[in-house]
Amino acid sequence: MRQRAEGPPLLDPNELAPFSEEDVPRQLSRCKPGKAPGPDGIPAKVLKTCAMELSPILHSLFSESYPSNTIPTLWKTATIIPVPKKLRPTDLNHYRPVALTLIVMKCLEKLLLHTILPIVSQQLDPLQFAYRAIRGTEDAGPACCTSSSSTWIPQAPSPGSMQ
């Protein structure tokens, strides 16, 4: 059995504040109507239009899933669509796979992200730039140069030392 690598402690779902009933319709209303549906076939437009009607049942499902650390099996499925990389593909290598997941699952993921991000952000290395809001890879260059220049600047010889 593999042991967990050393690092920050795992989050205990019981210690995190669950999302509220108001958070669910707010997240559903952010669904982009043009997005392709997942294997359930439910379009984003339906979730967005019916957000208030669907919110109570989805909040109940989300709230059950959250503390039990379980996700309904269907929510973990995806439809793989081959998307051409080139204008006129002639070979299978000219396609890239795109996974279409359930929009409901994406909503749950966003709600969980907003719940755990404030806690996890405190545990991240200050030099972690990728995949963080207001910190992009463009910020990594100056930070890297600043860090390495303080390490690599040659020191002037002290008086009386041999060179």
Q: What is the pLDDT of residue 6?
A: 61
User: How do strand 78-84 and strand 95-101 relate by DSSP bridges?
Assistant: antiparallel
Q: What is the pLDDT of residues 82-140, one digit of tens each?
A: 999 988 999 999 999 999 999 999 999 999 888 888 878 888 888 877 777 777 777 77
Q: What is the pLDDT of residues 3-19, one digit of tens each?
A: 445 655 556 666 666 78
Q: Give the whole-angstrom CA distance, residue 90 versus residue 95.
A: 9
Q: What is the pLDDT of residue 18?
A: 75
- pTM for the predicted model, two decimal places: 0.70
